[in-house]
Structure 1
């Protein structure tokens, strides 16, 4: 298990932070929040030119052919600037699923060119983190597939040009590509606390554009996408925590009380160090999640446990760092025009993405529970 970044990964990390630091300031973030259109055309085209939209797409299909660790680096930078463009649902979740399917080539190429965005519609209920708990039904009609069912809280679900939808049919799980304008599809969108958009989707006998995978292959691909998304969400939270910590450090040195900087107060020093420890703990667990994502999708029980543990610890760290950051700033921390409150909202959303703390704690407890003994 390699815990150090390669030269190529260091270059990716530097390019990510260089791009965001120059083109995605906090003032620009506030302007993007006012816009109802997602994604922003200029930002989306720039991400396409940097190769991020094809980050995990094989080179044979026009992508970079990279893995979860590289996705971690990109999403860490995205979290640090409060990115609201649909980078995670498009590049990490959905785009790799289109690779290798001729009928999906048009959608994939449009996405890689920055002309379209994608979404993966996988979650169906609020009863925990269970990607394979599917009630949506797909029917194979020979030359086409039709799907009926509903999906909840689909990231970028309201604006995506194409949707990858999971469902069940007689032979198991199936992954279908659906046009965002398909007949029988209704989308109810909303904006989350951090400014990102999601939607509830209803499919009423909707005709799919292409079948991407069926059976055990579809099941593995769906789990790989979701687990990589979970790891990427941890990285996004890590980036937001790191930036929040920087803002707090600067604030404590700049603001004074009784003629001395706030940073001179021992109680505030201790609180800051606790935040720093939480960030470093989250960093280790985020790297673990990136390293174990594909193994978990392949059925490794220990890797699945590591992912749930990482999500739990990163979520706890996110809430701790965000809450303490607000406390250190006092009333200023609640001002909309000041960044720290926006980072707290981003961290709250990251904590609930891909299963809440309670969801993953439940999975960990269930795994540790002893097998029942027959009388």
Structure 2
């Protein structure tokens, strides 16, 4: 398979990396991390100016239409920089969900504001106690007069407090619906918290939230929403690979600079073997990230699900191994917040559990093989 990228894709990667290097250094990120919101509106506006918030909007609708490979490359750079802004939540997941589920009128109303950074949307789908079963939804939407009434709870919604619109999944009788809920909706309550890797998230409760008839995106989402979640998972894998690549590079550089017993520790054979194992895991993760990007739009739901689960399971294992080895090779300083290695480790730790753990996706893969 040819993994060469065309000029436009390479330009997306280079543009994002230049932005990270020039405007999102580790020190600048720490300032964002310590801010009240936990993310930067100025950085968000700059991402919009670069066109990066429009990569999942088709060209005919004013976007870039970069597709899975373009999203993967931008995600690599986003992961390298450990961005705290809602790029994955809004510019990837919510934007792709709207493009997949919404009517033409809804897309025309929502997508331009998302591309310009004026509006932020996030998908609120996960619920407590579902054991990573993506289609296990207990929240309900009931028709009331000319509108809908939402009742239920969503958990760990990334960047919910930053969003202007929440895209909320709910049961509609035997169907599954996705509803647009404005951030100021009466009856909606957010319980905000910070994730282990420093990102803003919230549990969201909906108590008789009333919406208009136009709030529903499309029709039954039983088949379309899993496709959106698979696309989101592929993008998350891309970000994780970027973080793995950067933490390994930092570890190799440290092993060349740290001198012990009169020699750089990188010259010790035992440590060379460990870094070689880390490199092997990284290259396997690279291949799995490519697999996820190449299969995330596969119309065959079973083949797509198996490929994405295989990628997430292997990349989760790689993330844990590379992260743990990097911290150990840095010694005690590898756990300090003053060193970027600890922040990459936390991001990789969170990745392994987000959107289904490695064990869960391994079981999903096995189940798919048995079903086939």
State the match for 1:317 in structure 2.
318
Q: Report what 1:362 is aligned to.
A: 363
- Using structure 2 for the length normalisation, give the TM-score: 0.93
Alpha-carbon spacing, 1:86–1:370, altered in 2? closer, same or farther (3 Å): closer
In 2, Cα distance between the equivalents of 1:223 and 1:131?
A: 7
TM-score by length of 1: 0.93
- Once residues 238 and 340 of structure 1 are traced to their aligned partners in structure 2, the CA distance between those partners, rounded to angstroms, is 15
User: Map of 1:241-260 to 2, 5 A cutoff?
Assistant: 241-260=244-263
Q: Does 1:64 align with 2:64?
A: yes
- Judged with a 3 Å threshold, the aligned counterparts in structure 2 of structure 1 residues 104 and 180 are, in CA distance, closer, same or farther, namely farther
> What runs of 5+ residues in structure 2 fail to find an aligned partner?
none
Would the aligned equivalents of 1:189 and 1:199 in 2 still touch at CA under 8 Å? yes
Structure 1: distance between partners of 2:371 and 2:287: 29
Q: Against the structure 1 CA distance between its residues 2 and 211, is the aligned structure 2 distance closer, same or farther, given a 3 Å change threshold? A: farther
How far off its partner does 1:104 sit?
5.9
* Whole-angstrom CA distance in 2 between matches of 1:148 and 1:191: 25
> Which residue number in structure 1 is paired with residue 218 of structure 2?
213
Rounded to whole Å, the distance in 1 between the matches of 2:261 and 2:40 is 46
The offset of 1:312, in angstroms, is 0.4
Q: Distance in 2 between matches of 1:126 and 1:238?
A: 29
After superposition, residues 58-137 of structure 1 pair within 5 angstroms as 58-99=58-99, 100-103=103-106, 105-137=108-140
The Cα of 1:32 is off from its aligned counterpart by 1.0
Question: Which residue is equivalent to 2:303?
Answer: 302
Per-residue deviation at 1:292?
0.9
Aligned to 1:234: 237
| Local SS of the residue matching 1:208 | strand
| 1:170 counterpart residue number | 173
In the alignment, the residues of structure 2 paired with residue 2 and residue 141 of structure 1 have an alpha-carbon distance, to the nearest angstrom, of 53
Contact 1:154 1:201 in 2 (8 A): yes
Query: How has the CA–CA distance of structure 1 residues 359 and 126 changed in structure 2, closer, same or farther, with 3 Å as cutoff?
Result: farther
Q: Which runs of 5+ in 1 are unaligned?
A: none
**DSSP 3-state at the match of 2:57:** coil
Bigger shift: residues 137-146 or 164-173: 137-146
8 Å CA contact 1:178, 1:207 repeated in 2: no
| 1:214 partner SS | coil
Deviations 1:45-88 (A, max 9, x none): 01111222121122233222221211111111011111111100
SS in 1 for 2:142: strand
The 1-side partners of 2:106 and 2:66 are apart by 23
Matched position secondary structure for 2:242: helix
| Whole-angstrom distance in 1 between the partners of 2:371 and 2:162 | 45
Report the aligned-residue RMSD: 1.8
Distance 1:263 1:246, change over 3 A: same
Match of 1:327 in 2: 328
Q: How far apart, CA to CA, are the structure 1 residues paired with 2:69 and 2:226?
A: 17
8 Å CA contact 2:56–2:91 kept in 1: the answer is yes
Q: Decide whether the 8 Å contact of 1:76 with 1:235 is kept in 2.
A: yes
**8 Å Cα contact 2:142-2:148 kept in structure 1:** yes
1:11 and 2:14 correspond: no
Q: Pick closer, same or farther for the CA change 1:208–1:94 going to 2, 3 Å.
A: farther
